[in-house]
Structure 1
Amino acid sequence: MTSAPTALHAARRRSDLAAAADGTCDVLVVGGGITGAGVALDAASRGLRVTLIEAEDLAFGTSRFSSKLVHGGLRYLATGDVATARESARERHLLMSVIAPHLIRPLGQLLPFAPGVSGRQRGAGAAGMAMGDLLRLQARTSAKTLPGPHPVGTARALRLFPALNPRGLRGGMVTYDGQLSDDAALVVAVARTAAGLGARILTRVRAERLHADGAAATDTLTGERIDIRARTVINATGVWAATLDDGLTLRPSRGTHIVLDAADLGDPAAALTIPLEGSISRYVFALPQRAGRVIVGLTDVDAPGPIPSVAEPTEAEIGFLLETLNRLLAVPVARDRVRGAFAGLRPLVDTGAAETADVSRRHLVRASASGVISVLGGKLTTYRRMAEDAVDLAVRQYGLRAGPSGTATLRLIDDPAPGDVVEGGALSRAAVEHAVRTQGAMTAADVLDRRTRIGLVSDDRARALPAVERIVAETLADLP
């Protein structure tokens, strides 16, 4: 492996871009979300020369709009997809025990035995938790890392989620999953770890056309056209994959979350698991976050048509999430208490299922007629396995001289930003400078929307924007 600095910044981008245009890499990765960053890290861990290009910023697309869970596949067990659940449990184990324990914590999730949860849903939920715990044990995840499920009484359930309606509540079941401090931070950590192994991480470089031995690209900061030569090309652009590989058929699904103040829900200490009416396999979750927020989600709605650069939640989806949550609360949350909403598009492979909720979350790796390898589908928890499969195919198909993947035992960089992100959206100057000097941020939007998550609440974003714009400009001017 090549050792290199892990810091990403504008000056490094300029030198790496010139080097990418002047030589040939082993693997060109297109896409800077969690899958693309994972592919870059996997290839670099094998000693391959890697260049990653991303049209916007790291984690610009779907990767920053997840539920921020590293989960063991309880939903997949409910639909009978044991293989996907087992894979999720194994990857969760690696992430929480080896790869990123500094970015993930165990989160209790309460399934309340309330009047709005049927006996069938209670039984199915408890059975699913027990099966999920078997997968935890098979994955060798210790109870210290992730405790097993257990029943709780009514008083304990109300302490965990104080906003629950106590009338008719008969306790519940608690299980545990992994919760990311931030999904975009995971992407940046993976990309920076890859950079530390010699990968070139180039944001604001848009692929115009892919072919088996490289790509025609544009530096969107200057408008300059660049030809990047590579021995193999891996398309990891998620919902945009079909725009670069016309042999793919995707069925994007929109997943929406709303953002609430934790105080409006009694400052919950655990997540709330809410089965959808009449279903034993679909849920809405209310998930406590940092800075006094709770996110509630998510939806699963067909999203046909052109792919927007940023998906927008619909009022109907916001209303659906509020209605689902309010079924179990003593005091309903009003629409005007919603502090923000966000939506991401899942890059599902079209299987002809009637609803997107029924489409498999298993990933697909394929080589097109042009020789470009595409990887898509899957989910955040299994990004590492997706990346390994994609690079395995590239090594086999193109005879690359490479060792086995090293990512199952490779810990991600641990480099927290100085200064705290405090409630209300204030940021220390040191944290903004750190984002620009080491995390590859080049604009205030990069800082507010993807290095921190202040942008999830528009009022907080507007308050912070002028100062962050000024600090970003000053820091960029100070770089070599």
Structure 2
Amino acid sequence: MKTSLNAGRRRADLDHLASSPVDLLVVGGGVTGAGVALDAASRGLSVCLVEAHDLAFGTSRWSSKLVHGGLRYLAQGEVGVAYESAVERGILMTRTAPHLVRALPQLVPLHGKAHDPVVMAGLRAGDVLRRLARTPSRVLPGPRRVPAAEALALAPGLRRAGLRGGLLSFDGQLIDDARLVVALARTAAGFGARIVTRARATSLSGRGAHVVDTLTGASLHIGARAVVNATGVWAGDLAPEVRLRPSRGSHLVLSASTVGLSSTALTVPVPGARNRYALVLPQRDGRVYVGLTDEPVDGPIPDVPTVPQSDVDFLLGVASSVLERELTRADVLGAFAGLRPLLDTGDGPSAELSRGHAVLTNDGVTTVVGGKLTTYRSMAAKAVDATALTTTRSRTAGIPLVGAGPTTGPPHLVARYGAEAPDVAEVGEVAWAVRHEGALTADDVLDRRTRIGLVPTDRTAAEPAVTAEVAEELAAQT
């Protein structure tokens, strides 16, 4: 079956679902929900995924765009989570999505009396995990100490006074977290899964869900033998027994030339904190993301979280502590925040809560919560196992996602579309998003199929043309 998602396929899928139940209904179109849909469909189950908004609308598009090896979890004593992260990182980089993940050099600058032996010991422990996960050193080289001259060559914007060198290590970086979700959903569609966005589930049971088509207002009941709730920080809305303590992770968008970085990221210790770092992450588009915070969030969960000024000032201050140029609010081009769906353990600040995940089943509804973007595949496999719909084991560790494979074409398109780059070049990115990636609005293109929307001025400049082209493409499908 074709992997293309578009308005025509959505209409056909809704018509089919109105009278035909499926084996598994997945609610939530983030990385976990898309991963569940792929896992189940690849095991031979009939699958439907419904999403209230768009693919990657929630937390999955607000990450640091990293595929972590679990070093932070190791420092917190969560060895199992750290090892699982290292394994899943290796699978993404070598088998399932090598076109979407690259090795990112990361430098810990050493100024003054930095405790570099302690930090280097942690980096070496992380490298042990990399080897245990069987990720080759040609994919992720081991850590090493570099002298001041090399540190400045890697990151020219570093503060020179007191610089003793740096500790260089490597981790995985996604070209785009939202693109990973789209690739998962399309790969699932290739196995026959029905992917329906703008379809809000208002109630769940072990036999399906009541769903409202938000484009037309029509409602229907989608029958299923089992249901997986993969709605992240909104999981409690559909499963009240699930208790979460959301944590806000904020990022700033700056120009790489302002910060003084090219392709090497900085890992910056947060003054006064233990085992806590800020990240200064260069991107292929000439931007830099500075993140991230870890602040508890109380009250109703917004569809799109905002970044408070306190987070802006905190991140600018931490980044400036190792840079030659002091960053100010005027340097900020944009900002974004995501909410982590942390399990409520009843105590401890959010920075200390477990990043592990849980699969909970109640009255036939399986809810998967917690975890990290890196470990989505493992979480998805466990959620499908918990439904007891099949005895077939998960296959997704060996299934390449859409776009994996030999690549040719314009480098900027290859980096985002992999093997599909030549086809994208023929029709253009907006048309491709509408014809094959399920984009139904200009917002879908600006904010999730591309990163244009992360900088408000860029978004404003591009919106009229994108809106017109999306309308033209949708009209051609009716």
Query: Please, what TM-score do these two structures have when normalized by structure 2?
Result: 0.95
2:338 is aligned to 344
Secondary structure (helix, strand or coil) at the match of 1:231 reads strand
Using the aligned pairs only, state the percent identity.
55
Find out whether 1:386 has 2:386 as its counterpart: no
Instruction: Give matches, 1:138-217, under 5 Å.
Output: 138-217=132-211
Q: CA deviation at 1:161?
A: 1.0
AA partner of residue 56 (structure 1): H
- Does residue 62 of the first structure (1) align with residue 59 of the second (2)? yes
> Structure 1: which amino acid aligns with 2:39?
D
> 2-side partners of 1:169 and 1:195: how far apart?
52
The amino acid of 1:463's aligned partner reads A
Quick one: which amino acid aligns to residue 471 of structure 2?
A
CA drift at 1:24: 1.1
Judge conservation of contact 1:418–1:431 (CA < 8 Å) in 2: no
User: 1:417, 1:218 → 2: CA distance?
Assistant: 42
- CA distance in 2 between counterparts of 1:402 and 1:448 reads 41
Q: Hey, what's the Cα distance between the residues in 2 that align with 1:230 and 1:293? A: 44
Q: Which residue of 2 aligns with 1:239?
A: 233
- Cα drift, residue 418 of structure 1: 8.4
Is residue 71 from structure 1 mapped to residue 68 from structure 2 by the alignment?
Answer: yes
Say whether the 8 Å CA contact 2:186–2:437 is kept in structure 1. Answer: yes
Alignment of 1:303-342 (within 5 A): 303-342=297-336
Match of 1:446 among 441, 444, 447: 444
Tell me the SS of whatever aligns to 1:113: strand
1:125 and 2:119 matched? yes
Partner of 2:46: 49
2:399 to 390, 398, 410: 410
- Secondary structure of the equivalent of 2:428? helix
Equivalent residue for 1:424? none
- Higher mean alpha-carbon deviation, 157-166 vs 225-234, is at 157-166
Shift of 1:79: 1.0
Residues 1:279 and 2:273 are matched in the alignment: yes
> What one-letter code is carried by the residue in structure 2 that aligns with 1:405?
S
Q: Is the 8 A contact 1:417 1:434 kept in 2?
A: no
What amino acid maps onto 1:189 in structure 2?
A
**Aligned position for 1:264:** 258
- Cα distance per residue 1:90-126 (max 9 Å; x no partner): 00011101110010000000011113xx533x23321
Uncovered stretches (5+) of structure 2, i.e. residues with no partner: 414-423
Task: Specify whether residues 344 and 417 from structure 1 end up closer, same or farther in structure 2 by C-alpha distance, changes over 3 A only.
Answer: farther
Maintained 8 Å contact 1:418/1:434: no
Structure 1: how far apart are the matches of 2:100 and 2:6? 22
Q: CA deviation at 1:305?
A: 0.4
1:366 pairs, out of 355, 360, 369, with: 360
Matched, 1:88 2:77: no
Summarize deviations over 1:250-275 as a string: whole Å, max 9, x none.
Answer: 00000000000001122332000001
CA contact (8 A) 2:106 2:169 kept: yes
Instruction: Choose the corresponding residue for 1:475, options 459, 473, 476.
Output: 473
Structure 2 counterpart of 1:458: 456
Alpha-carbon distance in 2 for matches of 1:278, 1:97: 38
8 Å contact from structure 1 (residues 161, 265) kept in 2: no
Q: How much does 1:402 deviate?
A: 4.5
User: Which residue in the other structure is 2:417 paired with?
Assistant: none
Q: Give distance in 2, aligned partners of 1:474 and 1:181.
A: 28
Equivalenced residue count is 465
Deviates more, 1:193-202 or 1:330-339: 330-339
Cα deviations by residue, 1:299-355 (Å, 9 ceiling, x for unpaired): 000001000000000000010000000111111112101000000000000012321
* SS of match in other structure, 1:22: coil
Cα displacement (A) at 1:454: 0.5
Distance 1:359 1:266 in 2: 34
Secondary structure at 1:285 match in 2: strand
Q: Is the 8 A contact 2:263 2:283 kept in 1?
A: no
Structure 1 partner of 2:421: none
What is the aligned counterpart of 2:435 among 410, 434, 437? 437
* Separation of aligned partners in 2, 1:430 and 1:45: 30
Separation (CA, whole Å) in 2 of partners of 1:376 and 1:54: 16
In the alignment, the residues of structure 1 paired with residue 347 and residue 249 of structure 2 have an alpha-carbon distance, to the nearest angstrom, of 17
Alignment deviations for residues 168-194 of structure 1 (CA, whole Å, 9 cap, x no partner):
101111010000000000000000000
Tell me the equivalent position of 2:22.
25
**Residue identity opposite 1:230 in structure 2:** A
**Contact persistence 2:6–2:438 (CA under 8 A):** yes
Distance 1:104 1:334 in 2: 31
Cα distance in 1 for partners of 2:285, 2:90 equals 27
1:234 partner SS: strand
RMSD of aligned alpha carbons: 1.6
Give ranges in structure 1 of 5+ residues lacking alignment: 422-426
- Aligned partner letter, 2:63: S
Cα offset, 1:417, TM superposition: 12
1: distance between equivalents of 2:21 and 2:86?
Answer: 38
One-letter amino acid of the structure 1 residue matched with residue 396 of structure 2? T
Structure 2 counterpart of 1:16, one-letter code? D
Asked if structure 2 preserves the Cα contact closer than 8 Å seen for 1:418 and 1:430, the reply is: no
